[in-house]
């Protein structure tokens, strides 16, 4: 009898818990999505799957380990999931929020496979305006479409970074709009938000803006219509150093700025919703200064501001571009050709005293993307990257003398996505 009473008591305790677990809901309209992604590939240099810089080539006098061996890689850390939330109206605006993360871990100081935040932003949409607040892609400069398979492919060419920001975009007409806002200078700093680097020490928030023209007059290809925009970023970098022989610090403030023109041109638009034989050209051009150290260019061993012997800080200007030509062979199969170029204008002092810094990058890639159905996509890509360094140097290797001043890495990659 006692056993029966205990069993009945346990059931009475468990049943409410099960009922509550099945009734968890949100007050608003929530959509869950994302994808599972698998990558497998090979690098001609001994580098990771996210390689965006080539090591120096070996010379007859010195062998560079990364150049002597290749690297086979497999990963699934780009798998991600997201939540789209649509809530109640406020002040005549539709409100929404978006949250997304993946498992690359690299931007948070975690090991690969650790969860990291990608997006966390909210929006208010009126008929002629939009206000966005939170962590999102930068709102200017980056290409409108980048169909590369690897997540860091073409990161050097103003591909874009996700920063905490606030941006207001006003639509003067259906075709003309402008954006202004404030933004953090960096995506992450040593894996810690608001790390006390030069950009955080500055009393200036990063400023961003853009003027854009978007239209369907020339047709479209899926979501891609004719777009032209010119945008810019401006911030301050407060570099500090101890004052010689005194218990105090001195500082030197350097401007950080970049301006960019981006475009999207449906050369051959789709016909009646079918993308077969359509052609899209899109990309950007950019010019700026002191942007390497704040992640805009994902520059590898390039940097922004640096100190001269008298402790005065300076920074090189830089310029570059990205261009992509996409041809939809069928409605489900597309071929892409991509090119990027980046050049840093280092001074003679910087070239002599910072020989291991890259001053030039070029990247070529071609790929095929095939949507087998609504859930599964296959991608096959070849990419080659060429880097030039400020000067010859020993590099990480063995032997006497110097390694070469340039390096090249080829990457072959197969990507498979399962969207949900």
At 185 the pLDDT is 75
At 195 the pLDDT is 59
Q: Which domains does the chain have, with CATH numbers?
A: 29-419 (2.40.160.10)
At 12 the pLDDT is 41
Rounded Cα–Cα distance for residues 335 and 407 (Å): 27
Residue with tokens 């050369």: 267
Number of CB atoms found within 10 A of residue 402's CB: 17
Residues 6+ apart with CB under 8 A from 220: 226, 266, 269, 270
The two three-digit tokens of residue 192, written as one number: 């810690």
- Note whether 346 and 360 are within 8 A (CB): no
pTM: 0.87
CA-wise closest residue to 365 among 351, 377, 375, 379: 379
Instruction: Render each residue's pLDDT in the chain as its tens digit; 420 residues.
Output: 544 444 444 434 333 333 344 444 578 899 999 999 999 999 999 987 788 889 889 998 999 988 999 999 999 999 999 999 999 999 999 999 999 999 988 766 567 788 888 999 999 999 999 999 999 999 999 999 999 999 889 988 999 888 899 999 999 999 999 999 999 876 644 455 555 677 777 788 899 999 999 999 999 999 999 999 999 999 888 877 777 777 888 777 888 899 999 999 999 999 999 999 999 999 999 999 987 655 555 545 556 777 777 777 788 899 999 999 999 999 999 999 999 999 999 888 888 888 888 889 999 999 999 999 999 999 999 999 999 998 888 777 788 888 889 999 999 999 999 999
- Note whether 166 and 133 are within 8 A (CB): yes
At 298 the pLDDT is 52
At 109 the pLDDT is 59
At 24 the pLDDT is 44
At 32 the pLDDT is 93
Residues 6+ apart with CB under 8 A from 406: 54, 56, 57, 386, 387, 388, 389
- Rounded to 5 degrees, φ, ψ at 112 are -55, 135
């Amino acid at each position: 009898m006692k056993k029966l009473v205990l069993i009945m008591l346990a059931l009475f305790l468990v049943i409410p818990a099960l009922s509550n677990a099945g009734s968890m809901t949100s007050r608003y309209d929530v959509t869950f999505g994302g994808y599972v992604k698998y990558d497998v590939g090979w690098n001609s240099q001994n580098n990771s799957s996210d390689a965006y810089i080539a090591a120096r080539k070996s010379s007859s006098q010195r062998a560079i380990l990364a150049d002597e061996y290749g690297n086979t890689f497999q990963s699934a850390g780009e798998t991600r999931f997201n939540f789209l939330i649509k809530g109640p109206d406020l002040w005549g605006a539709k409100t929404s929020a978006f949250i997304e993360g993946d498992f690359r871990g690299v931007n948070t100081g975690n090991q690969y496979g650790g969860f990291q935040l990608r997006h966390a932003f909210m929006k208010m949409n009126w008929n002629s305006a939009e206000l966005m607040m939170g962590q999102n892609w930068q709102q200017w400069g980056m290409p409108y479409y980048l169909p590369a398979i690897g997540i860091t492919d073409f990161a050097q060419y103003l591909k874009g970074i996700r920063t905490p920001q606030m941006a207001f975009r006003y639509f003067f007409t259906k075709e003309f709009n402008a954006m202004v806002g404030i933004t953090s200078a960096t995506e992450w700093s040593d894996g810690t938000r608001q790390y006390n680097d030069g950009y955080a020490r500055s009393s200036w928030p990063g400023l961003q803006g853009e003027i854009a023209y978007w239209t369907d007059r020339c047709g479209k290809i899926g979501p891609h219509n004719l777009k032209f925009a010119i945008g810019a970023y401006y911030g301050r970098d407060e570099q500090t150093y101890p004052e010689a022989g005194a218990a105090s610090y001195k500082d030197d403030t350097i401007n950080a700025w970049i301006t960019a023109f981006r475009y999207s041109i449906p050369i051959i638009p789709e016909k009646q919703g079918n993308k077969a034989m359509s052609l899209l050209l899109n990309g950007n051009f950019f010019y700026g200064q002191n942007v390497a150290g704040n992640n805009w260019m994902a520059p590898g061993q390039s940097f922004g501001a640096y100190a001269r012997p008298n402790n005065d800080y300076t920074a090189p200007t830089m310029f570059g571009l990205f261009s992509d030509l996409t041809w939809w062979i069928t409605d489900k199969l597309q071929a892409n050709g991509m090119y990027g170029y980046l050049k840093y204008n280092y001074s003679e002092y910087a070239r002599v005293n910072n020989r291991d810094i890259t001053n030039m990058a070029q990247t070529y890639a071609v790929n095929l993307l095939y949507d087998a159905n609504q859930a599964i996509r296959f991608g096959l890509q070849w990419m080659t990257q060429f880097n030039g360094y400020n000067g010859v140097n020993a590099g990480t290797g063995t032997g006497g003398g110097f390694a070469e001043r340039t390096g090249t890495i080829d990457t072959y990659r197969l990507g498979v996505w399962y969207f949900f």
